[in-house]
Chain A
Amino acid sequence: MSAAKANSNTQTSDDLAPTTPLVEFSKEQDLAAYQTMLTIRRFEEKAGQMYGMGLIGGFCHLYIGQEAVVVGMQMALKKGDQVITGYRDHGHMIACGLDPKGVMAELTGRAHGLSKGKGGSMHMFSVEKGFYGGHGIVGAQVPLGTGLAFANRYRGNDNVSLAYFGDGAANQGQVYESFNMAELWKLPVVYVIENNHYAMGTASTRSSSETNLSRRGLSFKIPGEQVDGMDVRAVKAAADKAVAWCRAGKGPYILEMLTYRYRGHSMSDPAKYRTREEVDKVRTTHDPIDMARNRILEKKFAKEDDLKKIDASVRDSINEAAEFATHDPEPDVSELFTDIYR
């Protein structure tokens, strides 16, 4: 890669040379991926709307634009595999199969939120679905996810842990402490770096001396590759390869997902550090959902009317979640002192 390219401010999927060849989806895969990505998109739009109405407090980090990453990764997992991520976590939970109602009710801080209203947007968990959070400290999920992989190895099963983090977290020291131990002990963990090119308001070129984050494992001998994180098929293909690597006991693997978030870092970020044209370019040419939709139509996997039905049912389920989250009561005051110790 030329120096100019490495320092390009808006490295998107255009610049890619994926190392894992993309595999076409079957009709079922394409439709399922489309529906889940759309569910995340609509969920996040609704969350943004509800934040604007004052129903959601605090910080709220939306996943809009990055949907293909979690959906493609999740397609490579099996029961018992674990997922852990940072604070931009709503999409991961929906991809893991959690009910949007419970997630939305947690965003509104209500009794039937996933964490009984005590965690909020950044802190949700589900033992049942193998979702280990939802962590608010940038980078802290990386050693934790490495520990989940340690537990798999300790127990001698073939489960794999996915530890997601962003291009910002990739500069935290604990990430490299984890890389070292993971390779040293051959732990089954896929490090999924969701590179959306901005650590809050700081472009990766201004914060990272090596912006090709797939190379960040080189000195630990961890293989890595860049993936078009806007194409769910590319994500799935890379995920299959990385997960198989881990299941086979070969140690960790790094996938750098080149992706993009359309919204600000959080709801209160006006995103003035980039141009509207930059956002529009990705949106109009690389939107993961539009691309899936067009493909489905081209391949005649479904007709426009069928997709409209899917769209309507997704919208209904999200409206239902929003309705539930708006009217669910706040947690009982007796919950203040519960769940501190077991």
Chain B
Amino acid sequence: MPTNILMPALSPTMEKGNLAKWLKKEGDTIKSGDIIAEIETDKATMEVEASDEGTLGKILVAEGTQDVAVNTPIAVILNDGENASSIKAAQPAAAQKAAESAPPAAATAEVPAPKADKAPAAPVTETAVDPDIPEGTEMVTMTMREALRDAMAEEMRRDGDVFVMGEEVAEYQGAYKVTQGLLQEFGDKRVIDTPITEHGFAGLGVGAALAGLKPIVEFMTFNFAMQAIDQIINSAAKTLYMSGGQMGCSIVFRGPNGAASRVAAQHSQDYSAWYSNIPGLRVVTPSNAADAKGLLKAAIRDPNPVIFLENEMLYGHSGPVPKLDDFVLPIGKARIARAGKDVTIIAWSNGMTYALKAAEELAKEGIEAEVIDLRTLKPMDTETIIASVKKTGRAVTVEEGWAQSGVGAEIAARIMEQAFDYLDAPVARVSGKEVPMPYAANLEKLALPSVAEVVEAAKSVSYR
């Protein structure tokens, strides 16, 4: 059967164009790849290449014709043994060539008409509860640094596919000594010092994870991970979806996040909001040793990419950690760190330091604050927040990051959406001030949230 050559689209948005010139005439032999015509739009001129072979049987749209609709037949190619008489039978309606009379592109191309689909409801993820710690379990006091190290060591003992890589993680024992002793136990095949090359080693880690290994990629600080953020988001977070579920990656990116002390703007940023904006990532933000251990073990086992945000100020803080063979906490479950009935304070990571101290101050004034440690920002345990707000009617969020588009803004939105009728006051946000972190001690202090600000915010939502 003769083959129609259709008016091509140069771009998905092109609807019509001009047939500027025919470079072949009727009767010419056409080979696949031959330039047969030139078409133009207001944006570009383009050559039309034949993708079929045969003889140019008939030109249906003369050169110089304006506004030829996309998908209008512009010529007919005859195959071996066909002659011009086959054309009529095949193409009775070929004469219609101007945009107004041509059928719409979609119809000609047999594209199914777009259905007016409505997006289905996003699935609700079930949150697991913390495992019961058997009565009489011995609690060991250790620093968060040690808890993180133990979590990695336990998982590396358990699974040969787990390895840790990053700058100074091996021989130097970790820039913040979080990987202390790992090289000695696991050797340099599994504890790998990288060159200073964040973008490269983050991508290399994702590649290894796509191949089935379970890398723990340490960033000396998350400030340096900005060099690598393309690999984290475009490669790690999106591949499972882009592959239709065929290929994912189990990988942990971990390291200190947020402000340390007196290291100024480029070393003090909180990336909580950045990563928790990305579908495909989990974001974990522990505030104490036990959570750090249980959640890092969970993160290493998780089949998805996990951003594990630590905090330099907390590394040296000690806390009780249950002495269990395998203490794993669920990702996505908040913890009520202090029960109360008057106001809900929601924090995570170092924000918990301000929140808990503020709760103590408030208690002295007769205000019982309930403090929720989110522990995981994505998926966020909205249920625990909402249940608390329904009880207290008031909420304050605390974060070191900036307010605009911050995690506090997200929490406030969720409370507004799901507990509006229970609120007795607008949600208050305590956050880092919207300035690059200053170096001077007094200014740095002002730029960060403070206990006093949390106390003040809690009082203001309580109208006291």
Contacts and interface: CB of A to CB of B under 8 A. Distances in A.
B242 A53 contact: no
Contacts, number: 216
Contacts of B189: 154
B203 A180 contact: no
A174 B244 contact: no
Interface residue range, chain B: 35 or more
Interface string A236-274: 000000000000000000000000001110011010100
B80 to A, nearest CB: 10
B240 A342 contact: yes
A340 B7 CA distance: 39
B34 to A, nearest CB: 10
A221 to B, nearest CB: 14
Given A53-B6, A54-B12, A150-B207, A46 B51 contact: yes
Contacts of A270: 10, 44-47
A341 B304 contact: yes
A54 B106 contact: yes
B274 interface: no
B155 interface: no
Contacts of B163: 154
B304 to A, nearest CB: 5
Given A148-B208, A339-B244, A173 B46 contact: no
Interface in B305-356: none
Nearest to A144: B207
B207 A125 contact: no
Interface string B58-71: 00000000000011
A142 B118 CA distance: 39
A177 B201 contact: yes
B112 A329 contact: yes
B245 A339 contact: yes
A116 B244 contact: yes
Contact of B204 (A45, A178, A334, A342): A178
B260 interface: no
A154 B208 contact: yes
Nearest to A147: B207
Interface string B119-151: 110110000000000000000000000000000
Interface string B372-400: 00000000000000000000000000000
Interface stretch (A28-36, A129-137, A192-200): A129-137
A181 B242 CA distance: 28
A291 interface: no
Interface in B183-238: 189, 194-195, 197, 199-213, 230-231, 234-235
B32 interface: yes
B109 A148 contact: no
Contacts of A147: 203-211
B307 to A, nearest CB: 13
A50 to B, nearest CB: 8
Chain B interface main SS type: loop
Contacts of B449: none
A326 interface: yes
A208 interface: no
Given A53-B9, A54-B111, A55-B109, A276 B35 contact: yes
A177 B106 CA distance: 46
A112 to B, nearest CB: 10
A18 interface: no
B442 interface: no
Given A132-B247, A143-B231, A333 B35 contact: no
A307 interface: no
B12 A118 contact: no
B94 interface: no
Contact of A115 (B46, B70, B194, B244): B244
A154 B47 CA distance: 50
A127 B246 contact: yes
Residue with the highest number of chain A CB atoms closer than 10 Å, among B51, B123, B195: B51
A119 B204 contact: no
B243 to A, nearest CB: 4
B57 to A, nearest CB: 18
Contacts of B45: 270, 272
Contacts of B195: 177, 180-181, 184
Given A52-B9, A151-B213, A337-B122, 17 more contacts: A53-B109, A57-B12, A113-B244, A114-B244, A117-B244, A123-B242, A127-B247, A140-B234, A147-B206, A147-B207, A150-B208, A177-B203, A270-B44, A326-B110, A333-B117, A333-B120, A341-B282
Which 10 residue pairs across A and B have the least CB separation, nearest first?
Answer: A147-B207, A143-B203, A177-B200, A52-B8, A116-B244, A151-B211, A144-B207, A339-B245, A45-B51, A123-B242
